[in-house]
Structure 1
Amino acid sequence: MSLLSILTGNRRPSRKGGTPDPVPPLARITPGAARSGDAVSDAPAQRQSAEVLHIPCPVISAEEDARDIHRQRGQFLARQDRWEDLVAEMARADLARDATPAGMPVAELLCFGARADVVMAVEHALTDENAAGSTPLISGIEALEHMLADHPACACRAVTVAQAHMDIGWTWRGTVTAAQVPEDNREAFEAHFDRAAEILSPYREQSSRSPLIRAAFCALHGRGAGTTDELVRDYETLIDLHPDNPAPMRSLGAYLSPRWFGSREKLELEARRTAARLTPNWGAGGYAWVMMDALADDDAACAQLDREFFIEGLHDILDRRPDQHTVNLLAAWCAVSLGRQMSGHARADATRTAIAGCCDWIVRGFMTEMHPLIWAHAAQGFDNNISIGSPRRFASAGETVALRTIRSVFDTEISAGQRILFTADGPVTAPL
């Protein structure tokens, strides 16, 4: 299938800010305080939770704000056709390993913004059969290809165009299993990945020094064309180039799960190897980061998990990075993404219950504010391809999930007539 036929064919297929008012007397709540049950409470409504939980909820978190700034910067420069400026900023950020507070590389955010308009046009066209052959869809990817043709030796431009092709490929493929992908969609997916591989091929050696370029090579493994050993080598290099970024560790674990391209034994081995290499950065946290996304919907992985080592990893992550983005991410993942996936498999569910219980000490020991978008994504299994019709409703749903979960953590104190105030030093109790 030609690129042109791919592009023109028909596809088958309000939050509250501020801080709580201090109400004496206050009692500091310490991790490990009494708690009744690990499950998320179904009883309290959001209004009831608001009466007993007073927790800052910024309209946009520091991490979300930082990511938006860099994404919008990349999008703005691309729209203005200021590619020289954009390439220079991407290269500087990549060389300096610039990152957001939670470790997201600035160079990747600029790159994402630069291709966002083209990818969004494709996503729109493939959900609207009448728009599938529209001029904006064709001209968008063609414009990127022409831009690259004018500067064929520019690595940052090459990465941007290659990543755009892979994003479009995933849009064609969708989130269904490989066996469910229609043949035409599978051909489009593979054709876009083939083109991305062709674009990136001259930069293999350079990728050993550049997280931005190596991340693109890692993304190529999404088509499953290489061996597992090749996948591991690419991700190992990327992780070592920028060890403070947890995203590649999570992706490595997901790809090494039996649901994708690996096995339980390979996953365990690489999680431990990653933890050993990154002990100065993360302690045992490397094991937890690699295992995190592999545990979703995988009874075998949950049943055989080294539970104590994983929980030690969670502690080490938060000891080294106690920012509120990471705190909310781990609390939501433990209680919602994993804690609600009970399957009836005794050993797997025992692991899920134990890890869901970690939400208790995470909230009590580290949480000072709530980030609803993270909780909303956790409720959807952190699906990167989820379609969000209304960001406001999505955030509101996340707030409801978060309040119910946090309320259950303090069920004992609330039942005793206390309310919970979240301060800069963590939660404290006060009489209702």
Structure 2
Amino acid sequence: MLTQSRQALDLFSRISALVSSRSRPAARQSPAPAEQPLAQRPEDSLSIAVLSAQDAPEGTEAQDRGQFLARQERWDDLSRQIRTADETRAATRCGVPLADLIAFGARADVVSATEHALTEHHDARSRALIRGLMAFEALRAENRHDPYLTALVALAHIDIGWAWRGADSQDPAATNQRRCAAHFDRAAALLEPIAADSRNSPFLLAAQCAVFAGRGPGTLQVADTYSTLIDLTPANHRHMRALGTHMLPRSAGSYAALELEARRTAARTEATWGAGGYTWVYFDAITTDTQACARVDTRFFLDGLRDIVQADASQEMINLLAAYCTVALPKDMGQDLQADVPRLRIAGAADWLIRDHLTELHPLVWAHAEEGFDNSALIRSVSRFAARGHAGALQALANQFREEIEGGQKVSFTKHGLHLSAVCQS
């Protein structure tokens, strides 16, 4: 295991190299050099259990149930199931609300058909692009007093708005942006009449918050709405992460607002996460904004990271945090020295996360980390996406255990902790 002094020396040497490159006036800033690949394949030196999608059936079952009810047009049953899951705060073991998953499954056919039509470069007026959404709008018109079905249609518009934003079409980018904005505007119009019903509903309030990504709300409105949502479901870290990205200057906030909301959230969620609320608010913000990374209170962030593990040491959480520290966070290393110092210190937490807590691998988590946890990323094949995450995770783990592997040892992750053994030579 790396000692603290060796970690400090490594940190100092990497920062010194960056300072040296910065001191050359004619030199252009370049990324930090990548580590040399290991001579052997990672899978030959690592042994770890791998979780497949089939090993986590609760989320898949909820999505399938929503899709089935939508295909059968059993809208009353669908609304009832979303409402029940919402009111009971039912969630998967990794904390994803079942109401969100049921609703996601219910709109999956409509959204997927639109995404497919966009990849085929259909004309914007093509029935393939609007048929499913028109059916959803008709559903909403027949059930205009049902807030859950209204929110379902609004969420479909938001998903399709994201699809237009990332579409690789023959139309100018500005045209796609206008179409994206039109869907967000429609979602906002649908959600506005049910705002009063949303105050005590995590599902409905999350839909209200989802609209912010495509519009220009004020900082206080975003912060207050997210604060209400977080107070309703403090155990759901996804809302805190979304708040952080919305507090960036590129969205609805400022760096001062980001810091303020991070500290406010830490105070309000202390009973659940300790100092972890601060970490969650900055979690995605510092992977997308170098100035936010340069300004983060590293000690507070790392204290929060340990408190998160203290509150939830599940393998879902450990995989998320380890993938974050080894894959998502270091992506922009070498671009900005002020940001690299906290980035390196936080990334160093991967050592104790992996060595002290990791016992199984969740490939999809690592694959999403490689995408920067971009929810709008189009995944054409879940199996290939997971395979890519699996390969990336093994490489990250191999780099973490480089000394042991180069010394001829095999690293096994077991339920009882790490086990090192000599590699058998064939």
Normalising by structure 1, we get a TM-score of: 0.86
Mapped partners of 2:167, 2:130: distance in 1: 23
Equivalent of 1:53 in 18, 33, 46 = 46
> 1:13 aligns to what?
none
Question: Which residues in structure 2 correspond to 1:15-414 (within 5 Å)?
Answer: 41-44=35-38, 48-60=41-53, 62-63=55-56, 65-130=57-122, 132-174=124-166, 182-414=173-405
Structure 1 segments unaligned to the other structure (5+ residues): 1-28
Cα 1:393–1:183 change in 2 (3 A) is closer
Cα 1:297–1:187 change in 2 (3 A) is closer
Cα 1:240–1:30 change in 2 (3 A) is farther
Query: Does structure 2 conserve the Cα–Cα contact (< 8 Å) formed by 1:288 and 1:310?
Result: yes
Q: Percent sequence identity over matched residues?
A: 43
**How far off its partner does 1:175 sit?**
7.8
Mapped partners of 2:378, 2:331: distance in 1: 21
Query: Does structure 2 conserve the Cα–Cα contact (< 8 Å) formed by 1:235 and 1:252?
Result: yes
- Structure having the higher helix fraction is 2
**How far off its partner does 1:346 sit?**
1.9
Query: Does structure 1 conserve the Cα–Cα contact (< 8 Å) formed by 2:216 and 2:252?
Result: no
Query: Does structure 1 conserve the Cα–Cα contact (< 8 Å) formed by 2:222 and 2:252?
Result: no
Mapped partners of 1:102, 1:96: distance in 2: 16
> 1:4 aligns to what?
none
Mapped partners of 2:293, 2:106: distance in 1: 39
Q: How many positions carry a matched residue from both structures?
A: 399
**How far off its partner does 1:314 sit?**
0.9
Mapped partners of 1:40, 1:329: distance in 2: 23
**How far off its partner does 1:30 sit?**
11
Query: Does structure 2 conserve the Cα–Cα contact (< 8 Å) formed by 1:375 and 1:399?
Result: yes
Mapped partners of 1:194, 1:380: distance in 2: 27
1:110-160 CA deviation, whole Å, 9 max, x = no partner?
111111111111112222234644434332111111111112110110110
Letter of the structure 2 residue corresponding to residue 407 of structure 1: A
Mapped partners of 2:350, 2:409: distance in 1: 20
Structure 2 segments unaligned to the other structure (5+ residues): 12-32
1:82-101 CA deviation, whole Å, 9 max, x = no partner?
11111111111000101111
> 2:23 aligns to what?
none
Three-state SS of the structure 1 residue aligned to 2:191 is helix
Three-state SS of the structure 2 residue aligned to 1:427 is strand
Greater displacement, 251-260 / 30-39: 30-39
Greater displacement, 386-395 / 96-105: 386-395
Query: Does structure 2 conserve the Cα–Cα contact (< 8 Å) formed by 1:332 and 1:402?
Result: yes
RMSD across aligned positions (CA): 2.4
**How far off its partner does 1:249 sit?**
0.6
Mapped partners of 1:31, 1:207: distance in 2: 51
Mapped partners of 2:400, 2:165: distance in 1: 40
Mapped partners of 1:390, 1:216: distance in 2: 27
Mapped partners of 2:122, 2:87: distance in 1: 44
Equivalent of 2:410 in 401, 404, 419 = 419
Query: Does structure 1 conserve the Cα–Cα contact (< 8 Å) formed by 2:117 and 2:128?
Result: no
Cα 1:126–1:111 change in 2 (3 A) is same
Mapped partners of 1:255, 1:159: distance in 2: 21
Mapped partners of 1:415, 1:238: distance in 2: 49
Query: Does structure 2 conserve the Cα–Cα contact (< 8 Å) formed by 1:30 and 1:364?
Result: no
Three-state SS of the structure 1 residue aligned to 2:50 is coil
Cα 1:183–1:376 change in 2 (3 A) is closer
Greater displacement, 275-284 / 190-199: 190-199
Normalising by structure 2, we get a TM-score of: 0.87
Query: Does structure 1 conserve the Cα–Cα contact (< 8 Å) formed by 2:167 and 2:176?
Result: no
Mapped partners of 1:75, 1:31: distance in 2: 51
Cα 1:330–1:235 change in 2 (3 A) is same
**How far off its partner does 1:332 sit?**
0.7
Mapped partners of 2:183, 2:128: distance in 1: 18
Cα 1:31–1:396 change in 2 (3 A) is farther
